Amino acid sequence: MRWDWRGLIAGGLLVAGGAAAEPDPVRQAELLNLLEQDCGACHGLTRKGGLGPSLLPEALADKTDAALLATILDGRPGTAMGPWRPMLTEGEARWLVEQLRKGPQR
């Protein structure tokens, strides 16, 4: 069996990139604004739902973090939920999932 070291290295980089450090405070503020304004445009400013479903913790309780991450980064084909991968790193999307699990802080 022959190993493709380039694939292993690239895969390792992708995994390492997914475990990126928490965004700095400035980026956190930007991400919270995105969550409130951009996500809120479809999911409601209070995250209770609208065009898109509720993003409150109780509505997400049966969803895995991996599923939420995939939805944020890659969107949902056939729906208004577009991909955010061009604007967010995987680490930033993971941080957003954590915030969604906590619920609105205001």
Instruction: List Cα–Cα distances, 84 to 18, 39, 62, 70, in angstroms.
Output: 15, 11, 22, 10
pLDDT, residue 34, reads 96
Type and span of the H or E element at 73: helix 65-74
CATH number for the domain that contains residue 65:
1.10.760.10
86 part of a folded domain: yes
Q: Say which residues have a Cβ less than 8 Å from residue 15's Cβ, sequence separation at least 6.
A: none
At 1, the pLDDT band (50, 70, 90 cuts) reads very low
User: Which two tokens mark 29?
Assistant: 């503020």
Quick: pLDDT tens for 19-51. Answer: 557 999 999 999 999 999 999 999 999 999 999
Confidence of residue 59 (pLDDT cuts 50, 70, 90): very high
* Cβ 100 vs Cβ 68: under 8 Å: yes
**pTM of the entire structure?**
0.79
Range of the domain at 37: 25-102
Has residue 6 been placed in a domain? no
